[in-house]
Structure 1
Amino acid sequence: MARANDEVEALLREYADLIAIRGGEAFKARAYEKAARAVGGYPQDVSVLDAKGLREIPNVGRSLADKILEYLRTGRMPVVDEARASVPPGVRELVAIPGLGPRKAMLLYEELGISSVDQLVEAIRQERLRDLKGFGERTEDNILHGIAVLRKAGEGRILVSAAMDVAEQLVAELSAVRGCVRCTYAGSLRRMRETIGDIDILVAARRSAPFMEALTAHPQTIEVIAHGEKKTSVRTATGLQVDLRVLPPASWGAGLQYFTGSKAHNIRTRELAVRQGLKLSEYGLFDAESGESITSETEEAVYARLGLPWIPPTLREDRGEIAAGLRGELPDLLAENDIRGDLHTHTDLTDGLAPLEDMVAAAAARGYAYYAVTDHAPNLSMQRMTSEKILAQRERVRALDGAHKRMRLLHGTELNIGPDGTLDWPDDFLAEFDLCVASVHSHFNQSRQELTRRLVRACENPHVAVIGHPTTRRIGKRPGIDADFDAVFEACARTGTVLEINAHPERLDLCDEDILRAKRYGVKFAVNSDAHATTHLPYMRYGVATAQRGWLTTDDVVNTWPLTKLRKFLEAKGT
Structure 2
Amino acid sequence: MPRANDDAAALLQEYADLLAITGGDAFKARAYEKAARAVGGYHADIATLDAKGLREIPNVGKSIADKVEEYLTTGRVALIDEARAAIPPGVRELTAIPNLGPRKAMLLYDELGIASVDDLAAAIRAERLRGLKGFGPKTEQNILHSIDVLKRSSGRRLINKAMDVAEQIVADLSAIDGCERCTYAGSLRRMRETIGDVDILVAAESSAPFMATLVDLPHTAEVIGHGDKKTSIRTDQGLQVDLRVLPPESWGAGLQYFTGSKAHNIRTRELAVRAKLKLSEYGLFEAESGKTLASRTEEDVYARLGLPWIPPPLREDRGEIEAAQRGELPDLVTEADIRGDLHTHTNLTDGLSSLEDMLAAAHARGYAYYAVTDHAPDLVMQRMTTEKMLAQRERIAELQGQYGKMRILHGTELNIAPDGGLDWPDDILAGFDICVASIHSHFNQNRADITKRLIRACENPHVAIIGHPTTRRIGKRPGIDADWDAVFDACARTGTALEINSHPERLDLRDEDILRAKRHGVKFAVDSDSHSTTHLPYIRYGVGSAQRGWLEKDDVINTWPLTKLRRFVRKGGS
- TM bucket (normalised to shorter chain) is over 0.9
Q: Deviations over 1:153-210 (max 9, x none)?
A: 11x2101110000000000000111111110000111001001111111000001111
Question: Contact conserved, 1:160 with 1:192, CA < 8 A, in 2?
Answer: yes
How many corresponding residue pairs? 574
> Structure 1 CA distance, aligned partners of 2:295 and 2:112?
63
Q: Cα offset for 1:381?
A: 0.9
Name the residue aligned to 1:147: 147
Structure 2 residue ranges without an equivalent (≥5):
none
> Structure 1 CA distance, aligned partners of 2:200 and 2:237?
17
Question: Contact conserved, 1:314 with 1:548, CA < 8 A, in 2?
Answer: yes
Q: Deviations over 1:57-106 (max 9, x none)?
A: 00001111111111110111122112112211111111111001111112
1:402-417 equivalences in 2 (<5 Å): 402-417=401-416
Question: Contact conserved, 1:279 with 1:287, CA < 8 A, in 2?
Answer: yes
> Structure 1 CA distance, aligned partners of 2:203 and 2:15?
45
Query: Which amino acid counterpart does residue 518 of structure 1 have in structure 2?
Result: A
Q: Secondary structure at the match of 1:475?
A: coil
Q: Cα offset for 1:222?
A: 2.2
Relative to 1, partners in 2 of residues 1:119 and 1:574: Cα closer, same or farther, differing over 3 Å? farther
Question: Contact conserved, 2:462 with 2:570, CA < 8 A, in 1?
Answer: no
Q: Deviations over 1:462-502 (max 9, x none)?
A: 11110000000000110001111111101101110000000
Query: Which amino acid counterpart does residue 56 of structure 2 have in structure 1?
Result: E
Q: Secondary structure at the match of 2:222?
A: strand
Q: Deviations over 1:516-574 (max 9, x none)?
A: 00000000000000000000000000000100000000110000000000001111356
Question: Contact conserved, 2:253 with 2:283, CA < 8 A, in 1?
Answer: yes
Query: Which amino acid counterpart does residue 430 of structure 1 have in structure 2?
Result: L
Question: Contact conserved, 2:511 with 2:546, CA < 8 A, in 1?
Answer: yes
Question: Contact conserved, 1:463 with 1:573, CA < 8 A, in 2?
Answer: no
Name the residue aligned to 2:63: 63
Q: Secondary structure at the match of 2:97?
A: coil
Question: Contact conserved, 1:414 with 1:437, CA < 8 A, in 2?
Answer: yes
Question: Contact conserved, 1:232 with 1:243, CA < 8 A, in 2?
Answer: yes
Name the residue aligned to 2:478: 479
Q: Secondary structure at the match of 1:271?
A: helix
Query: Which amino acid counterpart does residue 170 of structure 2 have in structure 1?
Result: V
Query: Which amino acid counterpart does residue 206 of structure 1 have in structure 2?
Result: E
> Structure 1 CA distance, aligned partners of 2:49 and 2:404?
34
Q: Secondary structure at the match of 1:107?
A: helix
> Structure 1 CA distance, aligned partners of 2:284 and 2:110?
64
1:132-211 equivalences in 2 (<5 Å): 132-154=132-154, 156-211=155-210
Q: Cα offset for 1:25?
A: 2.1
Name the residue aligned to 1:546: 545
Q: Cα offset for 1:37?
A: 0.4
> Structure 2 CA distance, aligned partners of 1:307 and 1:140?
52
Name the residue aligned to 2:26: 26
1:489-528 equivalences in 2 (<5 Å): 489-528=488-527
Question: Contact conserved, 1:465 with 1:573, CA < 8 A, in 2?
Answer: no
Question: Contact conserved, 1:525 with 1:556, CA < 8 A, in 2?
Answer: yes
> Structure 1 CA distance, aligned partners of 2:377 and 2:305?
58
> Structure 1 CA distance, aligned partners of 2:358 and 2:176?
38
Name the residue aligned to 1:47: 47
Q: Cα offset for 1:245?
A: 0.6
Q: Secondary structure at the match of 1:129?
A: coil
Name the residue aligned to 2:101: 101
1:369-384 equivalences in 2 (<5 Å): 369-384=368-383
Matched, 1:130 2:122: no
Q: Secondary structure at the match of 1:527?
A: strand
Name the residue aligned to 2:566: 567
Name the residue aligned to 2:223: 224
Matched, 1:111 2:131: no
TM-score where L is the length of structure 1: 0.99
Q: Cα offset for 1:426?
A: 0.7
Matched, 1:295 2:291: no
Q: Secondary structure at the match of 1:421?
A: coil
1:242-321 equivalences in 2 (<5 Å): 242-321=241-320
Name the residue aligned to 1:36: 36
Name the residue aligned to 1:11: 11
Q: Percent identity?
A: 76
Query: Which amino acid counterpart does residue 9 of structure 1 have in structure 2?
Result: A
Q: Secondary structure at the match of 1:57?
A: coil
> Structure 2 CA distance, aligned partners of 1:222 and 1:393?
48
Q: Deviations over 1:394-431 (max 9, x none)?
A: 11111111111220010000000011111101111111
Question: Contact conserved, 1:180 with 1:205, CA < 8 A, in 2?
Answer: yes
Task: Say what the alpha-carbon RMSD is for the aligned residues.
Answer: 1.0
Structure 1 residue ranges without an equivalent (≥5):
none
Show structure 1 runs of 4+ deviating over 4 A.
Answer: none
Question: Contact conserved, 1:495 with 1:573, CA < 8 A, in 2?
Answer: no
> Structure 1 CA distance, aligned partners of 2:425 and 2:134?
34
> Structure 1 CA distance, aligned partners of 2:242 and 2:135?
45
Query: Which amino acid counterpart does residue 250 of structure 1 have in structure 2?
Result: E
> Structure 2 CA distance, aligned partners of 1:467 and 1:572?
14
> Structure 2 CA distance, aligned partners of 1:226 and 1:108?
41
TM-score where L is the length of structure 2: 0.99
Name the residue aligned to 1:436: 435
Q: Secondary structure at the match of 1:543?
A: helix
Query: Which amino acid counterpart does residue 87 of structure 1 have in structure 2?
Result: I
> Structure 1 CA distance, aligned partners of 2:221 and 2:72?
20
Question: Contact conserved, 2:429 with 2:462, CA < 8 A, in 1?
Answer: yes
> Structure 1 CA distance, aligned partners of 2:557 and 2:169?
35
Name the residue aligned to 1:323: 322
Question: Contact conserved, 2:448 with 2:483, CA < 8 A, in 1?
Answer: yes
Q: Secondary structure at the match of 1:12?
A: helix
Question: Contact conserved, 1:71 with 1:77, CA < 8 A, in 2?
Answer: yes
> Structure 2 CA distance, aligned partners of 1:224 and 1:362?
39
Q: Secondary structure at the match of 1:499?
A: strand
> Structure 2 CA distance, aligned partners of 1:116 and 1:306?
51
Query: Which amino acid counterpart does residue 15 of structure 2 have in structure 1?
Result: Y
Q: Deviations over 1:211-256 (max 9, x none)?
A: 1111112222222222211111111112211111111000001110
Query: Which amino acid counterpart does residue 312 of structure 2 have in structure 1?
Result: P
Name the residue aligned to 1:75: 75
Question: Contact conserved, 2:414 with 2:437, CA < 8 A, in 1?
Answer: yes
Query: Which amino acid counterpart does residue 167 of structure 1 have in structure 2?
Result: A
Q: Secondary structure at the match of 1:388?
A: helix
Q: Cα offset for 1:18?
A: 0.7
Q: Deviations over 1:10-29 (max 9, x none)?
A: 00000111111111222211
Q: Cα offset for 1:111?
A: 2.2
> Structure 1 CA distance, aligned partners of 2:303 and 2:116?
54
Name the residue aligned to 1:462: 461
Question: Contact conserved, 2:345 with 2:351, CA < 8 A, in 1?
Answer: yes
